[in-house]
Amino acid sequence: MKMTQTLRWYGPNDPVSLMDVRQAGATGIVNALHHIPNGDIWSVQEIQKRKDEIETAGLSWDVVESLPVHEKIKTRTADFQQIIENYKVSMQNLASCGIYVICYNFMPILDWTRTRLDMPLDNGSLALEFNASELRVFDLQILKREGAEKDYSSAEVEQAKRKFKNLSLSGIQRISDNVLKGLPGSEEVYSMEDFNAMLDTYKGIDGDQLRSHLVQFLEEIIPLAESLGIRMCIHPDDPPFTLLGLPRVVSTMEDYQHIFDQVPPLSNGITFCTGSLGVRSDNDLPAIFDAFADRVHFLHLRSTKRDAQGNFFEADHLSGDVDMFEIITRVIKEQRRRASEKREDTSIPMRPDHGHQMLDDLLKPKINPGYSAIGRLRGLAELRGLEWGINKMI
């Protein structure tokens, strides 16, 4: 039993074409309607238009990533209830078009965060990097967040001051752009003023409060998902720890256990992202998979390499801190178990995530960082080969 092989595609303006995806050997597409503002309804017409485009290229739209959760839902402010109703209508419209897997996240304000998009590796390719000291420079010296000093040691505060003094204007701009302007798939782009205003909306919202808001959101949408046959799969925080004073509530096994204890139906599931979860040394990835295997509805397979200072970068798919052999072995066993139970979701969709920029992609004028063609093709080929070998072995 094989995983369903997909690649993320950002729509008609993506420099990686649907034909490129087919040539890479994937059969499915992970996609979202990024042109529709957060909180608005995805109409049947817009969904079907995108689905037709994908299917005309000989592929299938297997996963929505993401159907964004508006900030007003996370903070439960203003007209959040109407926005939840809009979200439900979008779910209904997706199901009516035959799309049943929806990935989403509940990260406050920022989506996935990196401080550098072109970290050079020894072989000349480029990787995404999160540098904790640069994030502190942004927080303390560029953003100058109110009360930020309380979140760091005196040594870290002094280090940030020294590092900031030694940064060039282009270095300061790079860090600011990468944090505020978002990365591929990010839900919003912020100016410094907008971001500070957004931070104010989270005053008084700690981890417990945000977790409560997530559960209340799930209590509203999961019964509908159950009735429609939709599998909702929440993506872990990336990175899986507090940033800029904002709480993170989907970072550990305990976080997931709380969500599923409160809202038990299997439609309430997980996007098992090995890279995000693997950034924390206290996350036991095989144990997390085993605990929630029956509700893993989507797989992001990538590996990160971390250090003791809180830094990490995107490693090759079969190296880094993730034991990909162990994870894919578990995935295969879970798929076989589902097949024995005649579940409809026997083949779990996966995608190789955050490939390196390499070879000809180094010369292209436009790429989506982490989503260039060749690095992901390499990752998909490696993962496909590993899966083939494990299936032969067990």
Find out whether 62 and 28 touch, Cβ atoms under 8 Å. Answer: yes
Q: Which of 317, 353, 356, 361 is catalytic?
A: 353
Find out whether 107 and 137 touch, Cβ atoms under 8 Å. Answer: no
Helix 324-340 to helix 373-393 angle (10° resolution) is 60
**Residue written as token pair 């300061």:** 172
Q: Which of 70, 213, 297, 300 is catalytic?
A: 300
Q: Is 273 a catalytic residue?
A: yes
| Contacts of 143 by beta carbon, 8 Å cutoff, 6+ apart | 192, 195, 196, 244
Q: Which of 97, 100, 202, 235 is catalytic?
A: 235
Residues 299-323, mean pLDDT to the nearest whole number: 96
Residues 288-308, mean pLDDT to the nearest whole number: 97
**Pairwise CA distance, residues 19 & 33, whole Å:** 19
pLDDT of amino acid 182: 64
**Pairwise CA distance, residues 135 & 176, whole Å:** 9
Question: Which tens digit of pLDDT belongs to each residue from 239-264?
Answer: 999 999 999 999 999 999 999 999 99
Q: Which residues pair with 231 in a beta bridge?
A: 101
Tell me the pairing of strands 126-130 and 312-314.
antiparallel
Q: Is 213 a catalytic residue?
A: no
Question: Which tens digit of pLDDT belongs to each residue from 129-145?
Answer: 999 999 999 999 999 99
**Residue written as token pair 């981890």:** 207
Question: Which tens digit of pLDDT belongs to each residue from 165-220?
Answer: 999 999 999 999 988 876 666 666 788 888 888 999 999 899 999 999 999 999 99
| Residue from 332, 333, 256 nearest 291 by CA | 256
Helix 192-201 to helix 169-180 angle (10° resolution) is 40
Calculate the average pLDDT of the chain.
95
**Pairwise CA distance, residues 103 & 32, whole Å:** 10
Provide the sign of the torsion angle of the four alpha carbons 320, 326, 329, 335, taken in this order: negative
Entry field: residues in the chain: 394
Q: Which of 70, 213, 354, 356 is catalytic?
A: 354
| Residue from 392, 313, 311, 393 nearest 356 by CA | 313
Tokens standing for 342? 């005649």
Find out whether 256 and 248 touch, Cβ atoms under 8 Å. Answer: no
Q: Is 353 a catalytic residue?
A: yes
State in Å, rounded, how far the first CA of the chain is from the last one: 11
pLDDT of amino acid 191: 85
Q: Is 233 a catalytic residue?
A: no
Q: Which of 273, 297, 316, 345 is catalytic?
A: 273
**Pairwise CA distance, residues 38 & 203, whole Å:** 22
